Amino acid sequence: MKKIEALLILQKSKRDIFSLIDLKKLLRIESDNTAYVQANRLRKEGILERIAKGVYCLKDSRPADFEIANFLCRPSYISLESALAYYGILIQLPLTITSVTPKRAKKIHAGNIEFTYSHLDRRYYFDYIKEQSFIIATPEKALIDTIFFAGYGRTVIHPEEWVLNNINRKRLKKLSEKIESGIFRNYLNSLKIF
Element (H, E) at 170: helix 169-176
Question: Between the CA of residue 114 and those of 42, 92, 103, 106, 140, what are the distances in Å?
Answer: 25, 17, 18, 10, 24
| 123 band by pLDDT with thresholds 50, 70 and 90 | very high
- Report d(CA 62, CA 101) in Å as an integer: 24
Which of 90-94, 148-152, 180-184 shows the lowest mean pLDDT across its residues?
90-94
Residue from 34, 79, 39 nearest 57 by CA: 39
In 3D space, the residue among 54, 51, 53 whose CA is nearest the CA of residue 67 turns out to be: 51
Domain boundaries, the chain: 3-58, 65-191
pTM higher than 0.85: yes
Domain 3-58 CATH class label = mainly alpha
